[in-house]
Amino acid sequence: MAAESRPGEAHSLALALVAVSGPALLLVDGDLNLVAASTSFGRDFHIDVSETVGRKIFGLGHGEWDVPQLHALLEATLVGPSGSDTFEMNLDSGFRERRRLVLSASKLVYDDVENVRLLLAVTDVTDTRAVAALMEETLRQKAVLFQELQHRIANSLQIIASIIMESSRRVGTEEARSHLHDAHTRVLSVAMLQDQLAATSAEDVNMSAYLGKVCASLAKSMIGADDQLTLTVDADDASVAAATSISLGLIVTELVINALKHAFPARRSGTISVGYHATGEAWTLSVDDDGVGMPGPDAATKPGLGSYIIEALVKQLNAHLDFDHAAPGTRVRVMHGRNELHPPIATNGLRPAERAGAV
């Protein structure tokens, strides 16, 4: 059985451990006199601790440690139960710039209850906080630049759309003019989506607000004052990545434009409903209308560019596409993560854009 150490030996060992500690440590007695300090403390704060031991801790350095916060921390630790109290303070000294410190004071529990000891750990977080602030500012500037880039892209696309529209007025054939009008609509829709994304700096996009703005822009540009048609949105308050939102916005744009062009001939009145509903990782995007519906199985239809765009976007999202007669109208679903619950609907090989004509 090992012999018990004498009080003097234990005291010397404690002082030695404090002295060689890596973190900056101060050992203080019940009268708030300095008992010992780690070598790292003297090095970090340019203090010759040997000249200060036995004196009040507030006399460290050139008086810069004599601050109300340190008084309050140590006095609260002395009278309080055993535990650790932490606070932050600024340290001003003549040899270097202001430092931001985190101080943690603990009352030591041991056999000699009459001689209270406090252990004060001092951490200089100035440089860490400066790096964090720099990173935060860098991220903020990056977000601002990204938004500006989005705006510039949207503006450039709008200029391209204007050039295409001007070119459509100069072509000689109706077919060429129709194709240029379609190109103008698609470029303008992409510009609109870019503009919507530029309005938010978040990495994730709220689908309810996003689809609401997308459909509001579509209604303004393609429906206008026509009170025969209505475009509505019913979306969950869910968020998706910005890249996913672009694909979903393009799909909605293609399907809504297709419905506006083909589902309501001869100024037929009706409603187009856009929906987005999510459960966990699974989601469903829907575009329904109560128009004339899809052509019969014997109708001669030719897939248009819109069909291929939608299919490519759905594949990119790792989703699948369902569409069917809605009696009246057409029902289109883009579904992700729900294949087992909603198998694809047989539609006689037709594509969603194949109505009275092709987009």
pLDDT of residue 352: 46
Q: Structure tokens of 42? A: 């003297």
Question: Would you say 157 and 196 are in contact if contact means Cβ atoms under 8 Å apart?
Answer: no
pLDDT digits (tens, 9 = 90+) for 164-221: 888 888 887 888 887 787 787 778 777 777 777 766 656 788 999 889 988 888 888 7
Q: Structure tokens of 31? A: 């009268």
Alpha helices in 89-173 (DSSP H): 126-168
pLDDT of residue 15: 62
Checking if the pLDDT of 249 tops 60, the result is yes
What confidence tier does 339 reach under pLDDT thresholds 50, 70, 90? very low
Query: What amino acid is encoded at 294 in this protein?
Result: M
Question: Would you say 242 and 271 are in contact if contact means Cβ atoms under 8 Å apart?
Answer: no
pLDDT digits (tens, 9 = 90+) for 153-165: 777 877 887 888 8
Question: Would you say 277 and 350 are in contact if contact means Cβ atoms under 8 Å apart?
Answer: no
Question: Would you say 170 and 140 are in contact if contact means Cβ atoms under 8 Å apart?
Answer: no
Name 133's Cβ contacts closer than 8 Å, sequence gap at least 6: none
Checking if the pLDDT of 59 tops 70, the result is yes
**Region 305-316 average pLDDT:** 87
The mean predicted confidence, pLDDT, of the chain is 79
pLDDT of residue 302: 62
Checking if the pLDDT of 274 tops 70, the result is yes
What confidence tier does 19 reach under pLDDT thresholds 50, 70, 90? low
Question: Would you say 103 and 70 are in contact if contact means Cβ atoms under 8 Å apart?
Answer: yes
> Which sign does the torsion angle of CA 202, 203, 206, 210 carry?
positive
CA-wise closest residue to 295 among 216, 349, 237, 228: 349
Q: Structure tokens of 114? A: 């009459």
- As a whole-number percent, the residues of the chain with pLDDT over 70 amount to 80
CA-wise closest residue to 252 among 295, 202, 309, 172: 309
Checking if the pLDDT of 341 tops 70, the result is no
Residue 333: phi and psi, rounded to 5, are: -130, 130
Higher pLDDT, 341 or 224: 224
CB atoms under 10 Å from CB of 286, counted, come to: 20
What confidence tier does 276 reach under pLDDT thresholds 50, 70, 90? very high
Question: Would you say 71 and 57 are in contact if contact means Cβ atoms under 8 Å apart?
Answer: no
Q: What single DSSP character describes residue 56?
A: B
Whose structure tokens read 């248009």?
304
pLDDT digits (tens, 9 = 90+) for 77-126: 888 776 667 888 888 876 678 888 888 888 877 666 667 888 888 888 88
What confidence tier does 149 reach under pLDDT thresholds 50, 70, 90? confident
Q: Structure tokens of 275? A: 């929906």
Q: Structure tokens of 106? A: 């603990």
Checking if the pLDDT of 14 tops 70, the result is no
> What's the rounded Cα separation, in Å, for the pair 336 and 217?
26
pTM: 0.56
Q: What is the DSSP string of 220-238?
A: IIIITT-TTEEEEEEE-S-
pLDDT of residue 233: 95
> What's the rounded Cα separation, in Å, for the pair 70 and 119?
13
Q: Structure tokens of 68? A: 């109300």
pLDDT of residue 338: 60
- Between CA 311 and CA 329, with CA 332 as vertex, the angle to 5 degrees is 135
